[in-house]
Amino acid sequence: MLNDIVLQLTNIRKSYGAIHALKGVHFTLRRGEIHALAGENGAGKSTLMKIIDGIVQPDSGQIVLNGDARQFRSPLEAQRAGIGFVHQEIALCPQVSVAQNICMSRINTEGGFLVNYREVRQVARAAIEQLADIDVNTLVGDLSISNQQVVEIAKALTLDCQILILDEPTAALTDRETEALFAIMHRLKAQGMSIIFISHRMAEIFEHCDHVTVLRDGEYVMDTPVADTTPEDVVNALVGRQMTHLYPDKLTGDPTAGPVILRAEAVADEGRVRGVDLTLHKGEILGLAGLIGAGRSELVQTLCGLRRRTAGRVELNGAAIHPRDYADAIRSGLVYLSEDRKGEGVFLNMPIAQNVSALRLDKVTTPFGMLDRRAEMDQARTHGAELRLKAGSLRDDVSSLSGGNQQKVAIAKLLTANPAVMMLDEPTRGVDVGAKAEIHALLRDFAEQGVGIIVVSSELPEVIGLCDRVLVMAEGRISGELSGDQMTEENIMALASGLALTG
């Protein structure tokens, strides 16, 4: 009975207006397996999972659960049928304690008028203990993002589910938490639970999963035992073409040979950055790696005036600068790309052209303080072409673009400042593989044109593939510098977790 089928979806179709999110997708889940679901952004993974969880209704197709044809009209119905869903976006109540968040659905569905808070705390503690050391009485809003993710997972564990859906659960987790999560997944699997695991990371899929299903552009591509395939095959299947040349060529020779563009000495902020020295040379792409919370974003934000610098010295092209705020830094040529594109990078409900001009409105302003809308359009057109932006009209709202093209709009905005140094925080997060390669190539072009490039990234293959040199941060300090052959995942992780390099 080990391999009997728990859930089978056949020929599932779903359209939103003219967009076909799913074009006849199949999915088979067996008892006691960890089943990876892979696909680029927009491939239809999330829609498929929402259908299983009853959030979205399919246009056609069949869902068979334990041999019975079923239809889930709401998440509550799916929950009753034993399906638990850990969403990628955190959906918790920040002003409520960890315990009450974990037991939210229990409190919701249990009869009775009064809530037994003692029991709520016990259940919550039992669920979260296995994952991390988090006090169940703290408010969720006071936790870090990765701890919130842990709470989200613990919440699903309290439901006695036979199917658990984990949508990119490791994206926000630290290594230790990730290991703990996998240990639990294997234990649940041994108890007969079936787990659907959505991930971009091939290493995770090949180390921990039994089957892998690949979707591409809303279509079913393949479903195969992990033992019978290779990471390369899976990547090719999800991209739909041979990805041979993902990263642009690196700088030949010593990356520090060029003149220094930016130099920081003993830079500190109000607690997250604790004395950092760095130099950025002309022509190189400098990577900033480290765990979440190591202070990478805070460091670049401090350099460009978005956070207050409490100590240290910053030199741009040999002259000391003291930006009062970000507007000031922009004028001296330092620009910053936020890691949270939709929340902080673009104005989703404003036209593309107006997004591009936001950083330097003075460049499209007439002497009378009026906007020169033709200049605004021309500017957007020029930078759009430079970045190979794919858009219908520059008057369309940014929300109409794909993730990759939205990111290009955010980068075009930076270009209007004629930047001396671009600091890019997770520049390819949430961007599909094709656009990712394009953005990497563009960054290399900018570096060759003499713009200083600092890339903050949590994705190690990106750091290693793209950057000429990488600084690793741990607890607000630089814990090491790597370049050339030394730039390996092992070395970066060792430095990031505060270990000294051996050998």
Partner 1 sequence: MSNMTNQSGAKTSMLMRLVRMREFALIVIILALSVFMSFASPYFLTEGNLRAILLSFSTEGIVVVGMTILLIVGGIDLSVGSVMALTMAVAGKLFLVGLDPWVASLMGIGAAAMIGVVMSFFVTRVGLHYFIVSLAFLGIARGLTLVVTQGTPLSLFSLPPEFKFVGQGSLYGIPFVVILFFVIVGVADFLLRRATIFRRVYYVGSNEKAAEYSGIRVKRVKAGAIILCSTLAGLAGVIFMSRFGAAPPQFGVGMELNVIAAAVIGGAGLYGGQGSVLGAILGIALLSLVSSSLQLLDVPVFWQDGIKGGILLVAVTIDHIVHTRKA
Stretch that binds partner 1, among 150-158, 227-235, 314-322, 359-367 (CB under 8 A): 359-367
Q: Which two tokens stand for residue 382?
A: 């020029």
CB 166 within 8 A of CB 153: yes
Stretch that binds partner 1, among 259-267, 348-356, 444-452, 455-463 (CB under 8 A): 348-356
Q: What is the DSSP string of 167-196?
A: ESTTTT--HHHHHHHHHHHHHHHHTT-EEE
Distances (CA, A) of 12 to 35, 49, 52, 315: 18, 11, 11, 58
The mark string for 411-430 relative to partner 1 (x by CB under 8 A, - otherwise) is --x-----------------
83 phi and psi angles, rounded to 5 deg: -110, 125
Task: Verify binding: residue 14, partner 1, rule CB under 8 A.
Answer: no
Task: Verify binding: residue 397, partner 1, rule CB under 8 A.
Answer: yes
Cβ nearer to partner 1, comparing 351 with 452: 351
Cβ nearer to partner 1, comparing 77 with 372: 372
Q: Which of 175, 254, 270, 344 binds partner 1 (CB under 8 A)?
A: 344
Task: Verify binding: residue 365, partner 1, rule CB under 8 A.
Answer: yes
Q: Distance between CA 479 and CA 299 in Å, rounded?
A: 14
Cβ nearer to partner 1, comparing 13 with 70: 13
Q: Distance between CA 497 and CA 503 in Å, rounded?
A: 17
What pairing do the DSSP bridges indicate for beta strands 219-225 and 211-216? antiparallel
Cβ nearer to partner 1, comparing 206 with 347: 347
Q: Strand, helix or coil at 57?
A: coil
Distances (CA, A) of 412 to 315, 364, 385: 25, 15, 10
DSSP 97: B
12 phi and psi angles, rounded to 5 deg: -80, 130
Site for partner 1 in 373-392 (CB under 8 A): 373, 392
Q: Distance between CA 164 and CA 4 in Å, rounded?
A: 17
Q: Strand, helix or coil at 293?
A: coil
Task: Verify binding: residue 371, partner 1, rule CB under 8 A.
Answer: yes
CB 483 within 8 A of CB 257: no
Task: Verify binding: residue 361, partner 1, rule CB under 8 A.
Answer: yes
Task: Verify binding: residue 289, partner 1, rule CB under 8 A.
Answer: no
207 phi and psi angles, rounded to 5 deg: -85, -30
Cβ nearer to partner 1, comparing 256 with 428: 428
Stretch that binds partner 1, among 87-95, 140-148, 268-276, 362-370 (CB under 8 A): 362-370
Q: Kindly state the smallest distance separating residue 494's Cβ from partner 1, in Å.
A: 33
Q: Strand, helix or coil at 30?
A: strand
Cα three-residue angle 246-252-256, rounded to 5 degrees: 110
Q: Which of 347, 378, 381, 448 binds partner 1 (CB under 8 A)?
A: 347
Q: Kindly state the smallest distance separating residue 363's Cβ from partner 1, in Å.
A: 10
Cβ nearer to partner 1, comparing 173 with 391: 391
N-to-C CA span, the chain:
50
Q: Which of 229, 338, 382, 497 binds partner 1 (CB under 8 A)?
A: 338
CA-based nearest residue to 458, from 219, 262, 289, 339? 289
| Burial of 73 (C-beta count, 10 Å sphere; 0-12/13-18/19+) | exposed
Q: Kindly state the smallest distance separating residue 113's Cβ from partner 1, in Å.
A: 33
Task: Verify binding: residue 343, partner 1, rule CB under 8 A.
Answer: yes
Task: Verify binding: residue 345, partner 1, rule CB under 8 A.
Answer: yes
What pairing do the DSSP bridges indicate for beta strands 34-38 and 194-198? parallel
Task: Verify binding: residue 276, partner 1, rule CB under 8 A.
Answer: no
Q: Which of 1, 18, 190, 500 binds partner 1 (CB under 8 A)?
A: 18
Q: Which of 107, 126, 348, 441 binds partner 1 (CB under 8 A)?
A: 348
Task: Verify binding: residue 17, partner 1, rule CB under 8 A.
Answer: yes
Number of residues in contact with partner 1, rule: CB under 8 A? 40
The mark string for 297-336 relative to partner 1 (x by CB under 8 A, - otherwise) is ---------x------------------xxx-xx-----x
Look at the block and give the residue holding tokens 């900033």: 288
Residues that bind partner 1 (CB under 8 A): 16-19, 306, 325-327, 329-330, 336, 338, 340, 343-350, 354, 358-359, 361-362, 365, 369-371, 373, 392-393, 396-397, 399-402, 413
